[in-house]
Amino acid sequence: MSKDLSYDAVMARRPEIMKNSSGIDFSIFESGSIAFDYERMMKEAGFSIEEIQKIQSENGVGNTPIIELRNLTALARKIAPEGKGARIFIKDEAANASGSFKARRASTAVYQAKKLGYKGVVSATSGNYGAAVASQAAMYGLKCIVVQECYDSRGVGQPEIIEKARKCEALGAEVVQLSVGPELFYTFLTILEETGYFNASLYTPFAVAGVETLGYEIAMQFREKFGKDPDVVMATNAGGGNLTGTARGLKKAGAQSQIVAASVDLSGLHMASDTQFNKKSFTTGHTGFGMPYSTWPDRSDVPRSAARPLRYIDRYLTVHQGEVFYITEALASLEGLEKGPAGNTSLTAAFALAQELDQDQMIVVQETEYTGAGKHIQPQLSFARDNGIEVKFGDPKDEVPGKNIILPLHPSMITANDADVIHMRRSLIKNYISNYKVTPTEADLEFLAAETNSNVEFVKEVIASL
């Protein structure tokens, strides 16, 4: 008898599909209340740093260079107060096999699929991760399907997403392209069930553990070059796996660096809105993902996400679209480095933050990504104009997402704004309480304190205020 493929029926089978496609029974880490054993999940389903390094080194991943951006640092010092202007560095993750740090996540996920005997892998992503999974799957001789949210209801696709689809196909993947909406997850589940392939989700412990080598390498490379850890590690934040994995790797290296998240401010735009889908010029690294995923990590495509950024964020900065475009061009013209928009989001925040810090301090932007026809500034701005967005020079603080993109008249106009991390911590606690509808136990309180990088007293105070 054929299975019921209606939306409700497939969603009802989600736990079974997830278990069969990942090899993980997430329920064994759960307590029956709010708390679950996150560290046990990472330990049992993940790998040691040494194991990951071996897997990655054999597949064109990792050991990427640190590059000092001397000219951008000089520009920051020119407009900073006297004695300010920290040294700015990038970790050049575009040197990975598929052109981004996502190769680290894909390397461990696809390795696990091969180890468990799956014949293929499936990934739901519109971004670099699809290309990374396709690249690693090709190396391991596995089939690969990428499910991509690409178009609005008119059939119009964003140039950056179309660029990434081309890369996935070039690397041997079958790309299933969908319009924006709830069908993405439904289609993902049906493909997993029909094929019996491995769920190479961004948010499994395999994938996030793969990023730990990134943080670990940063600490080791800085100690070797400069005899100390960087003062600040800046990570672009969307779904949270980038920041989570990097922070965990830094902690495993014993580094005391401040962890600063960065996102493009797209407040006011709804990420699942068909009419607003093409009103944004950034497909990742923006607040439309960074904020909701930080305050409710388990909205991802696995029952328990391994990406839990609020456990690690010390500070969260937001920048504007026009500022990132400006810094992207400055990086190319001043440093001779063409890179895509994701890493340049955190580079923009780093440029602003450097002007607050002393000149002997060091900031490292922990990732870059490859660039290509759809990711360049001109096609992005042309696409924005075609969708009714005004593009002009002025003061970026006047930018309104979905209405205009304002390129700064002068680099001194580039600023980074602090997101309210305390408010985000409160929102996370509120989300857990409202979703689970239980009286929190002592174990729940300890768990929520860890989730928010706070303490039990803070958690109790927030719960009392509800």
Q: What residue numbers bound the domain in which 445 lies?
A: 433-465
Is residue 401 in some structural domain?
Answer: yes
The DSSP symbol for 236 reads E
Largest CA distance in the chain: 75
Do 271 and 171 lie in one domain? The reply is no
Do 30 and 84 lie in one domain? The reply is no
Is residue 1 in some structural domain?
Answer: no
Do 17 and 155 lie in one domain? The reply is yes
Do 399 and 440 lie in one domain? The reply is no
Exposure of 100 in the CB half-sphere (CA atoms within 13 A):
27
Do 231 and 298 lie in one domain? The reply is yes
**Do the Cβ atoms of 339 and 369 come closer than 8 Å?**
yes
Do 356 and 456 lie in one domain? The reply is no
Beta strand extents in 120-201 (DSSP E only): 120-124, 143-151, 174-179, 198-199
Domain boundary among 205, 229, 247: 205
Do 125 and 272 lie in one domain? The reply is no
Is residue 428 in some structural domain?
Answer: no
Amino acid 193: pLDDT: 96
**Do the Cβ atoms of 88 and 73 come closer than 8 Å?**
yes
| CATH number reported for the structural domain that contains residue 148 in this entry | 3.40.50.1100
Amino acid 374: pLDDT: 86
Do 275 and 306 lie in one domain? The reply is yes
Do 145 and 294 lie in one domain? The reply is no
Do 378 and 270 lie in one domain? The reply is yes
Alpha-carbon distance 193 to 23, whole Å? 13
Number of domains in the chain: 3
Domain boundary among 160, 188, 205: 205
Amino acid 273: pLDDT: 83
First to last CA, the chain: 49
Beta-carbon count within 10 A of 439 CB: 10
Do 127 and 11 lie in one domain? The reply is yes
Is residue 29 in some structural domain?
Answer: yes
Beta-carbon count within 10 A of 393 CB: 13
- In a 10 Å sphere around its CB, with 0-12 CB exposed, 13-18 middle and 19+ buried, how is residue 12 labelled? exposed
Do 382 and 408 lie in one domain? The reply is yes
In whole angstroms, what separates CA 27 from the centre of its chain? 25
Is residue 2 in some structural domain?
Answer: no
The DSSP symbol for 419 reads P
Long-range (24+ apart) CB contacts under 8 A made by 9-15 are: 10/186, 10/189, 10/190, 10/193, 11/186, 11/189, 13/189, 13/193, 14/189, 15/303
What does the pLDDT profile of the chain (466 residues) look like in tens digits? 578 999 999 999 988 999 999 999 999 999 999 999 999 999 987 789 999 999 999 999 999 999 999 999 999 999 999 999 999 999 999 999 999 999 999 999 999 999 999 999 999 987 899 999 999 999 999 999 999 988 888 989 889 989 999 999 999 999 999 988 778 889 999 999 999 999 999 999 999 999 999 999 999 999 999 999 999 999 999 999 999 999 999 999 999 999 999 999 999 888 778 888 899 998 889 999 999 999 999 998 889 999 999 999 999 999 999 999 999 999 999 999 999 988 999 999 999 999 999 999 999 999 999 998 888 999 999 999 999 999 999 999 999 999 999 999 999 999 999 999 999 999 999 999 999 999 999 999 999 999 999 999 999 999 999 8
